[in-house]
Structure 1
Amino acid sequence: MESQVRGGTRWKRFALVMVPSVAATAAIGVGLAQGALAASFSVSGQEFKVRADKLVGHNLIQYGSIATGKDLKGKDAAHPVVVSGFSDATISNMCQSVVTPDVPFFGSITLQLNAGTQADKPVEATNLYLDVAELDTDAEFKNIDIGVAAGDPSNKTGIQPNAKPQVNPYGFAQRAEVATLSNVKQKAWATTAGTFKLSGLSLRLYQGSKECY
């Protein structure tokens, strides 16, 4: 991905919103279950919604970044996001939806994915990175540090590999040993994961808008 922001005063804007409630960022979504994170990719022109009863993640690191790609008309687009990284996470009763508008002969089409609906079989992820635009949740953090540098080598999860062109390693970030998020509702642009295990996966297409919330 080409760099859109490399530092300077723009990065200070992230500090205004990087408060503990935003540190709770938890996008779930479909990861790249290939054992290693994607080196670079262009985000689609569509956000997706995610709802979950609960997410428990370890070694949270959170910082500001830019997701770049094209809009639905093929024009260049850049989206400020809050990236949350976890060394591992479990997600209970996850629902993800994305609506594609103006499909010929059908109008809007919704793709909805559900997984981890059984209490003893949650969704499981490792090396999880989430590019989030909006979040509503109840959050609890264990051993949180606010105001650390994004690229500090003591951050156990660390910034996403090969993401440095989009991330100021000296910019504002925060970390926590454990993050527990309940009643999660969010909009996201992208999710990547080293592994992503979706127990009881159900995928459906609906005509019209049938989002998770």
Structure 2
Amino acid sequence: MRDFLSSLSRLGMRLLPLLLMALVAGSTFWLVQVNSPHEAPAGPVGTKHEPDYYMIRFSATELAEDGNTKMRFTGDKMIHFADDQTYEVTKPAMRAYEIDRPPVTGHADRGTMNAEGSVVDLFGHALIVRAQGPDPAKDPPMTAASEYFQVLVNDDIVKTDKPVKLTRGPSVMTANGLVFNNVTREVQLLGNVHGTIITVPPPASPAAKP
């Protein structure tokens, strides 16, 4: 029994350096793992919002079913972005033509347009002008000026949630927002409305002959 314990003791003494080396190696590996920054798992890389092409001094025309011009859209520069198929436009100008309706034009310092061309946002010195109708007394020229307008092309609606100045003939109104429906020719002024409405008197009837 004494010889067995003595042999076991000698074996332990020979294995002790190996155990210490294994312990040190294991501790070093653990310390490296704890103190090393872990990289996040690679996920899908999103598409950057970068332009893929641009046009200089462009002009685009939309035709109605009868072949007549429905809308013309021009600008100094148009940039297309591939990730969301949107456009940025410098000095945008647009003109809408509708049968039996006065033409409506709009321009601004810059603009954006969605992929379908159904929503156009105008920024900076934006001005919307509706020409005079057949009867100046009932349908005088009208303008709307603001720092921002959104044009819903398919609905023929212009709106803004920014301060706006509206003129209709000699009348002048200001408000905190506006919704203009060119189909019904209705104008809705939103919030803090001020102004002067001037009605044009009907033309005097010719004097009756004695």
TM-score, normalising length: structure 1: 0.26
Q: Which has the larger radius of gyration?
A: 2
Q: Which structure dedicates a bigger proportion of its chain to helix?
A: 2
Q: Give the structure, 1 or 2, with the largest relative contact order (CA under 8 Å, sep 6 or more).
A: 1
TM-score, normalising length: structure 2: 0.26
